[in-house]
Amino acid sequence: MLLLFTVTILGRQPPAAPPTTGDAHPLLSSGKAVEERRICCRAAIPSVIYMDDWTTSHRRVLAQREADGWMFLIEAARDLRTTGAIAPSGKALAHALTEPVRSRSPRPLAVLEAGAGTGAVTRHLIPRLPRGSRLDIVEANPRFADQLRILAATHPRTTSRSADITVHQSLVEDLDTDQRYDVIVSGLPLTNFAPHTVERIMGRYLELLHPGGTLTYFAYLGTRRARTLLASRSEARRHAAVDHVMTAYQRRYATARWSVWANLPPAHVWHLQRPPLPSQPSADGQHSAAWTR
C-alpha cells in the first residue's frame, strides 16, 4: 500500500540558515523554523488493519466499511454541524493523527480520542497502543457511542486486557476526569463551531494534556475559500473568527503539520504540544518555558 502526504515539521528554535527543503509557512513564522517535504510511505500501514484487524475475512471488512459509511452519512444528514463530514476519516488521515502514539512507544500511554464517530480512527489507534495503555474515547452522539462501546468490548486488545478502553458519551469540554493524557486525538469538526466553543474545547484539551503531551487534530483543506464564496456573511465571519482562534494556538504550540491528500476531502493534520515543565527537556533536548495559556 502506498500513501502520499506532506509533512511540515516545526523546530522550536530557528535554524542558522534557511532550510533548503522548503519555505517557511506564513502562519507559523513567529520564531519557528518550518520545513515541508513530500513523503511516500510504503507498507507503513497493513492493508487490513484499518478496519477489523482481528479478522481475516475480507468480506466482513468490506461489509463493516459499508455499514460504517452509511451510519456516518445518516448522522451527517441529521446534524452536519456536529458530525462535520459526509464520510469517515480515511487510512492516511488516521495514520497522521495517530503518529504521536507510534512515536512514543513502547512505554504505556494515556490516550484520549475525542469525536471518534463510527471508530474509523479508533480502529487504527487501538492496535498501536503499547501494552498497558489506557484509551478514553469521548463521543457525544449516542448512536456513535453505542457502536464504539461494541468496538471496545470486542477488540482483542481489550479482551486480552493488554489495554484499558473506556467510552464516555459526553462533550469533551464536560468530561469529568482527573486523568491527564500523553496524547489527545481530536476528530471534532472545530470549524463548524462558534468561536467561544472552540476556545473552550482547546482550553480543555490543553488542561487534559500532561506537560510535554501532544494534541493532534485535522482541518479540511479549502473550507475557508469555500465559505467565503458560498456562505452567508455571518457564517463567513464566524469561520474567520474560528480561524483566528486556531491560528493563535498553532503559532504558539504547533510542532508539525501533515498535508494529507489521500483523504476525502484532503486535510491538514496539526500536532500541538503542551510545553514541558521548566526542568523537563523537550523533544529536541532544549528546556522549555513553563506552561501558560
Q: What is the pLDDT of residues 181-194, one digit of tens each?
A: 999 999 998 988 99
Q: Is 226 contained in some domain?
A: yes
Question: What pLDDT is attached to residue 36?
Answer: 45
| Paired strand residues for 218 | 269
Question: What pLDDT is attached to residue 291?
Answer: 38
- For 87: left if phi > 0, alpha if psi spans -120 to 50, otherwise beta; the answer is beta
Give the highest mean pLDDT range of 7-11, 266-270, 280-284: 266-270
Query: In the chain, how many domains are there?
Result: 1
Q: Is 269 contained in some domain?
A: no
CATH number at residue 127: 3.40.50.150
Question: What pLDDT is attached to residue 27?
Answer: 44
Q: Is 280 contained in some domain?
A: no
Q: Is 67 contained in some domain?
A: yes
Grid coordinates belonging to 81: 454541524
Q: Is 31 contained in some domain?
A: no
Convert the pLDDT of each residue in 50-91 to its tens digit.
Answer: 333 433 344 444 444 444 444 444 444 454 444 445 456 689
Residue ranges in 98-182 assigned as alpha helix (H): 99-104, 120-125, 142-154, 156-159
For residue 185, what are the domain limits?
54-254
